Structures are given as C-alpha cells and as structure tokens.
Structure 1
Amino acid sequence: MNALKDHISFQASTLALREKRNNLLASNIANAATPNYKARDIDFDREMARQNGDSPVRMSSVRHFDSIAGNGLSGVKYRQPLNPSLDGNTVEMAVEQMEFSENSLRYMTTLTFLNNRISGLMTAIRGE
C-alpha cells in the first residue's frame, strides 16, 4: 500500500500547496482596497523543496535580498510591492491577477498529472 501512496504523493502534495497559494492570492485580490493590508504569497519552489527534504536555494551574499520577505508562518511571506500605495496596501492587482492565473493553470496541470497517475494504476490493477 505504501508503494501506491508513494506513486501519487508528489502530485498530491503539489496540489495541496497550489491550493494554499490560490487561497492566499485570492485573499490578496479580495483585500485590494483594504488600507494597510499586506499582500502575502508562498515561494512555491522553496516550499516544495522544504517538503521534499531538499535544501532551498541559498543567497551567496548578505547584500542579496528576496522579492518576498519572511514572516515565519510556514512559508507564507509578505510580498514587496513594486509601487507602494499611500494607504499602506501592498496589493498590486496586475501582479496578483497574473500570479493567480498562472497558479490556477499549474493547479489544473497538476490535477491532470494526478488523474493520469491514478488512471495508470487502475489500468495496472485491472490487468488491461
């Protein structure tokens, strides 16, 4: 049974992380007019590397900086705005909509991969 779990676990964990990121991006879009709201996001590649036990990319100098600043909540970080607003809100609709669209497309792609894996397992079980 562990072999079956191992066969689909990567796509399943990817799907869960994509869903978490979609929820954060949707929350950013919903709060675009909220004063002092800070846009949040997940660095997907680093989170997947962390979940798989790989070491994330490290900065080689203290003068390097991320485009996403950490807050310590399990990979959820605050996005640094390109154009800060006067009311303190860091949501930039064009960025959020682009990130949401890209993440949704990747979510659907991951779901397709997961469905194909499950279909392949079902074919093997039936002996077809």
Structure 2
Amino acid sequence: MTAIRDHFGVHASALVLRNERNELLASNIANAATPHFKARDIDFGAELNRRIGEGGNLATSNSRHFNVGGTMQGGVGYRDPVNSSLDGNTVELSVEQMEFSENTVRYQASLTLLNRKISGLAQAIKGE
C-alpha cells in the first residue's frame, strides 16, 4: 500500500518550496530601499532535488572514476546584482518583481496539480 504522500509526489514538495521562495522574494522587494540589504533567493531546481533525494553525486565503483553531479549546494543564497547600488543594496526591483511573478504562477500550477490529485483520490474513495 502506498502512502498518500507518495501519491502527491514532487508537487507537494514543490508547493512548499515555492512558498518559501515567495517569502524570500517578497522580503527582497520590501527591502529594496534598505541600505546594505543583500537580495536572497533559492536555487529552486537544486533545492527541490535535494529535498526529494535526487540529484546527488553518482556512485562510483573505482577510485579512478570521476565524481560527477551534485556539486551545487541547495538552499538560500545571495543574488549577484547586474547594476550595483551606491548604498550596497543588491535588490534590483524589476528582477525581483519578475521572479516573484514567475514563482507565483508556478506556485498556482503546483497547487492546481495537487488539487486534481486530491480530487482523484476523493473520487476513488467514493467509488466514482
């Protein structure tokens, strides 16, 4: 028997991570005028792979094999600005707004997919 969590798959993890990313991006936007504030973001793909247990280093069977994959650390990092600010703030409002909008659309897509899966489970439970 599979757990309900297994039925939701990657979409549940993606939804949580998208929410965390939205909070970071909103914080960046809110601090656009704060001197010395450093814009932060999540490498979504790397962090999602880390959370679902994929994307790690490939196993090697010999000490002469090259270590391939998984060299990038997930989690929160700092965004490198294209145009530096004189007050040390690295928030570029247009970039943050675009990233926030894109992340929100993807959050909604993940939510829609989860809702469809939940509806399918409800129908299966009811025997429809």
Output the TM-score relative to the length of structure 2: 0.84
- 1:36-47 equivalences under 5 Å are 36-47=36-47
Which letter maps to 1:11? H
Q: In percent, how many aligned pairs have the same letter?
A: 60
- Report the counterpart of residue 107 of structure 2 in structure 1: 107
Corresponding position: 1:48 with 2:48: yes
More strand by share: 1
Residue 34 of structure 2: SS of its match in structure 1? coil
- How far apart, CA to CA, are the structure 2 residues paired with 1:123 and 1:96? 40
Q: Structure 1 regions of 5+ residues with no counterpart?
A: 60-65
Counterparts of 1:76-91 in structure 2, within 5 Å, are 76-91=76-91
Q: What SS does the corresponding residue of 2:3 show, helix, strand or coil?
A: helix
In structure 1, distance between residues paired with 2:98 and 2:122: 36
Instruction: Give the deviation of 1:76 after TM superposition.
Output: 0.4
Match of 1:63 in 2: none
Displacement of 1:11 in angstroms is 1.4
1:93 match: 93
Partner of 1:24: 24
| Aligned residues: CA RMSD | 1.9
* CA-CA distance at 1:3 after TM superposition: 2.5
- Note if contact 2:13-2:52 (Cα within 8 Å) is conserved in structure 1: no
Give the alignment's TM-score, normalised by structure 1.
0.84
- Contact 2:49-2:55 at 8 Å conserved across structures: yes
**AA matched with 1:106:** R
Q: Number of residues paired by the alignment?
A: 116
What is the CA–CA distance in structure 1 between the aligned matches of 2:76 and 2:19, rounded to whole Å? 13
Structure 2 residue runs of 5 or longer lacking an equivalent are: 57-68
4+ long deviations beyond 4 Å: 56-59
d(CA) in 2 for partners of 1:24, 1:45: 16
Q: Distance in 1 between matches of 2:27 and 2:36?
A: 14
Quote the Cα distance in structure 2 between the aligned partners of 1:5 and 1:41: 27
Deviation for aligned residue 1:52: 1.7
Letter in 2 for 1:124: A
Greater shift, 9-18 or 25-34, is seen at 9-18
